[in-house]
Amino acid sequence: MLTRRPGLLTRLALSPRFHALAERLPFLRSHARAEGRALFSILSGFVQSQSLLALVELRLLHRLAEGPADAATLAQTAQMPLARLGVLMQAGAALRLVRHRAGLWHLAPRGAAFLAVPGLEAMVRHHPVLYRDLADPAAFFRGETVPELAGFWPYVFGELAQTDANLAARYSALMSDSQGLVAADTLRLVDLSDRKRLMDVGGGTGAFLRAVAARYPSLDLSLFDLPAVVAKADPAIPRLTVHPGSFRDTALPNGADAISLVRVLYDHPDTVVRHLMQSAHAALPPGGRLIVSEPMSGGDRPCPETDVYFAVYTMAMHTGRTRSAREISDIMQENGFAPRPMRRPMRPFVTSVVESVRA
């Protein structure tokens, strides 16, 4: 079998002699140091995340949102020895979440943004589950473990969400908290001004449709989701028709000339995604629009946020996967949709959008 050698830069990076040389040559030194910092950030990333989680769980960021405080006050808030608090706050300062000025600790703009952006805190509080799932990463990637996350989102299987209304409500609240940014970015990438009715499939309690209603005051709206979920649909959304059902075994209703799937496909295996596209095709008229919005893999150009975080997260969930825009376009095409040119997402870690037209 022909074995190809690694590329030149990779071969150089494998050589300790090259690293010693790079330190001596100014034009190589800055590149080598930047690479070193990037590498160190990768290998220490889990400590950064756990320090953030400690700052959140101990409510230190929340306390500083009320005003600056000295270390003794914060140590009391967190119920920890002063010296240990010092280490945690110093880590927070290095991450630019807090800062120390004139003997007091202050919330930094980054820490304030963390508290202000809806959904971020809930996401971090929920991370211990994923963290436990990744405790033995080799076994996790080999598929030898049963991830806790797989049990955490039983709604994906449909049955539990239909019988346990509390579970559905808790989950929907988490989703709708984080929907603001997703809706904003989706609506920047999509133009619905020539549409008459949009049906949001898997639309939860209607957070995306609320944002759509505000942007398009004459567009009619439909919401399709599991019965236990739409039971809590926001009654204040104007021009809304609600359709309870499971897209696994119920046909999607006709009447809309656009269908959106926001953060839905990545929860499901390819068989369900294909079935869903066929149902969307049957429900839409010719010229109808299908809009998929969710974090997507970078495909040929791996994306640091989505190909690490979302791809691993969806793998731990055991039901779906993080697909690239190309993969989603291909499934659309196989099912009678013509993909439209894709627009570059503002924040791939929030969402990307693929649109297509029903033939």
Ligand X SMILES: C[S@@+](CC[C@H](N)C(=O)[O-])C[C@H]1O[C@@H](n2cnc3c(N)ncnc32)[C@H](O)[C@@H]1O
Residue number, 50 or 162, with CB nearest to ligand X: 162
- Binding-site string for ligand X from residue 209 to residue 248, where x marks contact by CB under 6 A and - marks none: ----------------xx--x----------------xxx
- Asked if 276 contacts 265 with a C-beta cutoff of 8 angstroms, the reply is yes
Give the pair of three-digit tokens for residue 190: 């999509």
CB of 204 to ligand X, least distance (A): 4
Sheet holding 220-225, edge to edge: 240-244, 220-225, 197-201, 258-262, 289-294, 352-358, 337-339
DSSP alpha helices (H): ranges in 164-310?
165-177, 179-189, 207-215, 227-230, 270-283
Beta-strand pair 98-101/104-107: antiparallel
Q: What residues contact residue 11 under an 8 Å CB cut-off, 6+ apart?
A: 5
Using the minimum distance from each CB to ligand X, give the nearer residue, 98 or 161. Answer: 161
DSSP 8-state code for residue 348: T
**From 109-117, 120-128, 198-206, 234-242, span contacting ligand X (CB under 6 A):** 198-206
- Rank residues 114 and 208 by Cβ distance to ligand X and give the closer one: 208
Residue from 304, 322, 285 nearest 195 by CA = 285
Taking the complex as a whole, how short is the minimal distance between the CB of residue 2 and ligand X, in angstroms?
45
Task: Identify the residue among 204, 320, 336, 348 touching ligand X (CB under 6 A).
Answer: 204
Contact 297, 322 (CB under 8 A): yes
Residue 200 neighbours by CB under 8 Å, 6+ apart: 206, 208, 209, 212, 221, 222, 223, 224, 259, 260, 262
CB of 302 to ligand X, least distance (A): 23
| φ and ψ at residue 147, rounded to 5 degrees | -65, 140
What's the closest the beta carbon of residue 352 comes to ligand X, in angstroms? 13
- Binding window for ligand X (CB under 6 A); candidates: 68-76, 99-107, 130-138, 261-269: 261-269
Please say which residue, 99 or 281, places its beta carbon nearer to ligand X: 281
Q: Is 278 in the site for ligand X (CB under 6 A)?
A: no
| 203 near ligand X, judged by CB under 6 A | yes
Instruction: Tell me the C-alpha distance between 310 and 265, whole Å.
Output: 13
Q: Which of 264, 296, 331, 353 binds ligand X (CB under 6 A)?
A: 264
For residue 59, what are its two tokens? 């409510």
Does position 267 interact with ligand X (CB under 6 A)? The reply is yes
Q: Which residue is nearest to ligand X (CB)?
A: 202
Q: Which is nearer to ligand X, 185 or 220 (CB)?
A: 185
By CB under 6 A, which span of 108-116, 201-209, 277-285, 308-316 interacts with ligand X? 201-209
Q: Which of residues 137-156 bind ligand X (CB under 6 A)?
A: 155-156
Residues 22-81 that bind ligand X (CB under 6 A): none
CA distance linking residue 307 with residue 355, whole number of Å: 21
In order of 31, 34, 266, the CA distances from 27 in angstroms are 7, 12, 43
182 lines the binding site for ligand X (CB under 6 A): yes
Applying CB under 6 A, which of residues 158, 227, 253, 255 lies at the interface with ligand X? 158
User: Which chain residues interact with ligand X by CB under 6 A?
Assistant: 155-156, 158, 161, 175-176, 179, 182, 202-204, 207-208, 225-226, 229, 246-248, 262-264, 267
